[in-house]
Structure 1
Amino acid sequence: MAGLPAAGKSSVASGLGRALPAAVVAVDPLEAAMWRAGVDRGQPTGLAAYLVAEAVADGVLALGQSAIIDAVNAVEAARQQWRELAERHRMPVAFIEVVCSDSRVHRQRLERRSRGIVGFEEPTWEAVQQRRAEYEPWTDHRLVLDSITGLASNVTTAQEYLARAARLS
């Protein structure tokens, strides 16, 4: 899963995880756990959270199960990390990017959301806009879902996409 904060990726990831079933490995709670453990926020905890997510997903894949990584994945290096993980396990990788085409709705979602991640401070709208400006172009195929579309429809579309991807691998 990929997409800006509050675009709707966690909702799609959760729905997809229940439907498949597949383990959902979310980066934000991992980063928050590091902060709660006393790791200084000035340290590269974002990068560390991606590496911890990779380690967790590695264990899931080693069991022959599927994993959904719930992370912004804004840069090519992060996307390559997941490609390499899938390759090590000889499993297919499929990217799904969730966007919110209505910036007013996106901002409202961000400002109103409370995910209950202890110690995690939601980013500001300005921080999300900065991430948008830094978002690197995609180099491979992905499914793009607009969260303005209903969640159930997006989960179904994602399931169909993953089924096609699995058949082609």
Structure 2
Amino acid sequence: MLIIFGGLPGSGKTTIARALAERLNAVHVRVDTIEQAIRASGIADDAGPAGYIVAYGIAGDNLTLGRTVIADSVNPLRITRSAWLSVAQAAGVTAAEVEVVCSDKAEHRYRVETRLTDVEGLVKPTWQATCERAYDDWPDTIVIDTTLKTVEAAVDELIDRLGD
């Protein structure tokens, strides 16, 4: 199975994606890590679409090995979401789309402004950049609101909903 995460920076998607990957013994493919590695290589200052394209390849390789893959990225555009679905289709596996949100704006802003990076050299977006980011509506997806949930409760809910 390919579990496709998306959500604005600071929503909690990487925290939930990691915990779910650990619980399911799944492969965690994080676009932020890939994009920062591309920038750190000195080949390009802007990873552009390359980070997503590399992630699609890594996910596809692992899916064909029979592994469950958790794709972790902001995934803001329909085109990136469609590309993830194509990866699952090419590998012959099912896909589930998960949008992680933090519905409390004050809490979301606090998270964006206070979180530390865990990827060396990665510069996190500001609250203003987060608010101004292009982000297409994402209908027909599993929505997990992290505002008042523990990580464990969010993962439990997600596992229940993935089983439906």
TM-score normalised by the chain length of structure 1: 0.90
Q: Does 1:51 align with 2:53?
A: yes
List aligned pairs for 1:4-83, cutoff 5 A: 4-41=8-45, 43=46, 45-83=47-85
Deviation at 1:152, TM superposition (A): 1.0
CA distance in 2, matches of 1:8, 1:65: 24
CA distance in 1, matches of 2:55, 2:65: 16
Instruction: Report runs of 4+ in structure 1 exceeding 4 Å deviation.
Output: none
Residue in 2 that maps onto 1:144: 143
Residue in 2 that maps onto 1:158: 158
Residue in 2 that maps onto 1:121: 123
Contact 1:35 1:119 in 2 (8 A): no
The CA RMSD over aligned residues, in Å, is 1.1
Q: Could you tell me which of 99, 119, 138 is aligned with 1:97?
A: 99
Deviation at 1:61, TM superposition (A): 0.5
Q: Which amino acid aligns with 1:34?
A: I
Greater helix fraction, Structure 1 or Structure 2: 1
Unaligned runs of 5+ in 2: none
TM-score normalised by the chain length of structure 2: 0.93
Greater strand fraction, Structure 1 or Structure 2: 2
Deviation at 1:138, TM superposition (A): 2.1
Contact 1:15 1:155 in 2 (8 A): yes
CA distance in 2, matches of 1:93, 1:46: 25
Unaligned runs of 5+ in 1: 165-169
Q: Which amino acid aligns with 1:147?
A: T
Q: Percent identity at matched positions?
A: 35
Contact 1:33 1:119 in 2 (8 A): no
Q: Which amino acid aligns with 1:162?
A: L
Aligned residues: 159
Contact 1:7 1:147 in 2 (8 A): yes
